[in-house]
């Protein structure tokens, strides 16, 4: 039986009042995006894992209603200036969501701006700034091969620098490792420096 417009409006209102997990991601500019996406696709082809939208985690998880999350996210966009990012190193980790990552150099500027954005979203601290290339659970040998593959494909990836000027707000469910249930709610621009 089709749902009435009134029922749909009530469900939308109810969803907006429910508490969910939200995350804020720094988006990668086009010139770096293409380079990173190529590495991600090659790693996924060999090692599996979900498709990842290239991003730098700023706020990893915060519980809010959708309206609160959107308001907090908009506040962060209005308050925080663009952030200069420089890759410091390529690392592997035992954590699923950081299996193979580019670690971003923690400068005073990055620390201050990401902390401010996290504060806008009611988090006392931001995420460790990283750009995951692969989500997964790999053996130590597979991680070593993945790291070698990245450096063979793009030997200067650890010298990558860019300006993060856009961010995205996602509703996330960390139990869904495929990310198929994750929803991008909006994108925003950081203030010009």
Q: What is the pLDDT of residue 38?
A: 97
Specify if 53 maps to a domain.
yes
Note whether residue 65 is domain-resident.
yes
* Total tally of structural domains belonging to the chain: 1
Residue 32, domain member (yes or no) = yes
Residue span of the structural domain in which 43 resides:
18-173+182-189
Prediction pTM value: 0.84
Could you tell me if residue 12 is inside a domain? no
pLDDT at 12: 58
* Cα distance between residue 162 and residue 10, in whole Å: 44
pLDDT digit string, tens, across residues 25-74? 999 999 899 999 999 999 999 999 999 889 998 888 889 999 999 999 99
What is the predicted pLDDT for the residue at 166?
A: 97
Residue 95 pLDDT? 87
Neighbours of 146 (CB within 10 A): 23
Beta pairing partners, 130: 103
The answer to whether residue 11 sits within a structural domain is no
Which residues are annotated as catalytic? 55, 130
pLDDT at 156 (0 to 100): 96
Q: Does 123 fall in a domain?
A: yes
Which parts of the chain sit beneath pLDDT 70?
1-2, 7-16, 126, 178
Residue 157 lies in a domain: yes
Contacts of 8 (CB under 8 A, 6+ apart): none
- Per-residue confidence (pLDDT) for residue 23, from 0 to 100: 92
Task: Kindly state whether residue 2 falls inside one of the protein's structural domains.
Answer: no
Name the H helices within 18-163: 30-47, 66-79, 108-120, 140-153
pLDDT value at residue 14: 55
CATH of the domain at 167: 3.90.1140.10
């Amino acid at each position: 039986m089709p749902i009435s417009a009134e029922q749909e409006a009530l469900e939308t209102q109810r969803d907006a009042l429910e508490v969910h997990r939200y995350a804020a991601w720094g988006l990668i500019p086009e010139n770096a995006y293409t380079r990173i996406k190529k590495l991600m696709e090659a790693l996924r082809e060999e090692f599996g894992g979900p498709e990842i939208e290239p991003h730098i985690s700023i706020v990893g998880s915060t519980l809010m209603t959708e309206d609160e999350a959107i308001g907090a996210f908009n506040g962060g966009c209005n308050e925080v200036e663009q952030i200069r990012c420089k890759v410091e190193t390529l690392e592997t980790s035992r954590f699923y969501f950081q299996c193979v990552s580019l670690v971003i150099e923690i400068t005073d500027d990055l620390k201050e701006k990401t902390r401010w954005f996290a504060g806008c979203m009611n988090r006392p601290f931001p995420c460790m700034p990283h750009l995951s290339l692969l989500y997964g659970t790999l053996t130590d040998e597979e991680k070593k091969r993945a790291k070698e593959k990245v450096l063979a494909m793009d030997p200067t990836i650890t010298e990558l620098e860019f300006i993060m000027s856009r961010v995205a707000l996602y509703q996330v469910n960390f139990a869904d490792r495929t990310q198929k249930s994750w929803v991008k709610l909006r994108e925003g621009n950081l203030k010009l420096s």
